[in-house]
Amino acid sequence: MTGLRYTKDHEYVRVDGDIAVIGITDYAQAQLGDIVFIELPAAGKQIAKGQELAVVESVKAASEVYAPVSGEVFEINAELGTAPAIVNEDPMGKGWFVKLRMAEPAELALLMDQRAYESLVQGC
């Protein structure tokens, strides 16, 4: 997938205008194993870059998901409340977590592109 940006903690951002669609990468979901619960923020919440955005619980562990960019939660993927395994099945598509209305689009420049992220994952 091109046009995506990534963090070293395996979150991704897909940009659609001023909206950032955020989730975890395929690598992250594979490391977590079967996901059984996801705690998402409320719509309207202001989130700063680096702040906890969500909590993912799997059969292996619980893990925090951090905001790759700052903004206001525009929409959450409510489907994950009843079917968190969607993230295991399609993390980069239907398994997105939140949509943020970006406050600082320039923060995207601080994230990795596809090539840099693939190099990171190969080193893991």
Per-residue pLDDT reduced to its tens digit, 49-90 = 999 999 999 998 899 999 999 999 999 999 999 999 999 999
Mean pLDDT of the chain: 94
pLDDT tops 50 at residue 109 = yes
Q: What is the pLDDT of residue 3?
A: 74
Q: What is the pLDDT of residue 2?
A: 45
Considering the domain 4-122 in this protein, what is its CATH number?
A: 2.40.50.100
Q: Residue 8: CB partners within 8 Å, gap ≥ 6?
A: 112, 120
Average pLDDT over residues 24-43: 96
pLDDT band at 124 (very low <50, low <70, confident <90, very high): confident
pLDDT band at 1 (very low <50, low <70, confident <90, very high): very low
